[in-house]
Amino acid sequence: MKKDIHPDYHTMTVTLADGTSFETKSTMSGGTYSSEVDSTNHPFYTGKRQFVDTAGRVEKFNRRYRKASTEPTEETETAETTEAEKTEGTE
């Protein structure tokens, strides 16, 4: 085994979302780590489905493709334009 190639390995405290904490060893810097997820609030353990969309990605996707599906195509625009030109000439 080569010397001085491995990261520092030290004790740290992990605090879970429900408030419990324990000590473990890790290569992470800092003496504590706070987790937002644990077995009391994770959907796998609770059986409840949670939908978290903090960035608004679903809305952005829906807006993009709703807009694309409702915009007229070039063929539709040219057909409407020629019909409008024909009616203007007859009046």
pTM over 0.85: no
Residue 19 lies in a domain: yes
Domain of 16, in residue numbers: 1-71
What integer best gives the mean pLDDT of the chain?
Answer: 76
Residue 84 lies in a domain: no
Residue 83 lies in a domain: no
The rounded distance, in Å, linking the Cα atoms of 17 and 39 is: 9
CA neighbours closer than 13 Å in the CB half-sphere of residue 9: 5
Phi, psi of 46 (to 5 degrees): -85, -25
How many domains would you assign to the chain? 1
| CATH number where 34 lies | 4.10.80.400
Q: pLDDT tens-digit profile of 46-75?
A: 777 766 666 777 788 888 888 766 655 555
Q: How far apart are the first and last CA of the chain?
A: 93
The rounded distance, in Å, linking the Cα atoms of 69 and 39 is: 42
